[in-house]
């Protein structure tokens, strides 16, 4: 049975376009018998990386209570990622980039010696044998353009930790009028259905 980890990151709750697409994807995957775990990074926000947390993520014997708590949370997030076959990331575009809530997850998961390491030939990802699906929504049209700092960034981060098989579903032009919104959502749902077929 396939195990799928879904990360939601929209701050818009019931108004979220990316969440609606994720729900569509989730229904199709569950219909095929997949086990789906959902982590809502907006509803249950993670701590923001600061100096104390960054030092604590290195481990050691003399950690503050806060450092110990965040290190345990980071270990939990990494174990959750490694326990699933497929990672699905809902990544709406906010001001040309990803939501802060998603960046917080990345900062707690991308850890030297845990999800990547440095070798004589360069960095090597340690999260291998996984597949990722990016579901990105945006008000305008940015696919493959210089203004898209969502997909290229996420592909770089995922590749850095060892996830090289990445597929992307785009929901674009969603704020360019009702007709464009409907078309953008429809095309994204078609992409999802092809992806999980």
Residue ranges for the known binding site for FMN are: 10, 16-18, 93-96, 137-140
| Radius of gyration for the chain, computed over Cα atoms and rounded to the nearest angstrom | 17
Annotated binding residues, as ranges? Answer: 10, 16-18, 93-96, 137-140
* Residue 20, CA distances (Å) to 11, 68, 87, 91 in order: 13, 36, 17, 12
What are the beta bridge partners of residue 123? 118
């Amino acid at each position: 049975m396939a195990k799928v980890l879904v990360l939601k990151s929209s701050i818009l709750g019931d108004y979220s376009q990316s969440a609606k697409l994720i729900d569509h994807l989730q229904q199709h995957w569950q219909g095929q018998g997949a086990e789906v775990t959902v982590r809502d990074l907006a509803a249950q926000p993670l701590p923001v990386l600061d100096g104390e947390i960054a030092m604590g993520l290195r481990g050691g014997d003399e950690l503050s209570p806060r450092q110990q708590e965040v290190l345990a949370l980071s270990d939990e997030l990494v174990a959750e990622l490694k326990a699933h076959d497929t990672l699905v990331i809902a990544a709406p575009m906010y001001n040309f980039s990803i939501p802060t809530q998603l960046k917080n997850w990345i900062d707690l998961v991308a850890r030297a010696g845990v999800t990547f390491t440095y070798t004589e030939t360069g960095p090597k990802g340690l999260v291998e044998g996984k597949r990722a699906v990016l579901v990105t929504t945006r008000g305008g049209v940015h696919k493959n353009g210089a203004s898209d700092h969502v997909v290229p960034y996420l592909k770089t981060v995922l590749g850095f930790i060892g996830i090289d098989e990445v597929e992307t579903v785009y929901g674009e032009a969603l704020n360019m009028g009702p007709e464009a919104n409907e078309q953008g959502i429809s095309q994204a749902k078609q992409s999802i259905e092809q992806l999980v077929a």
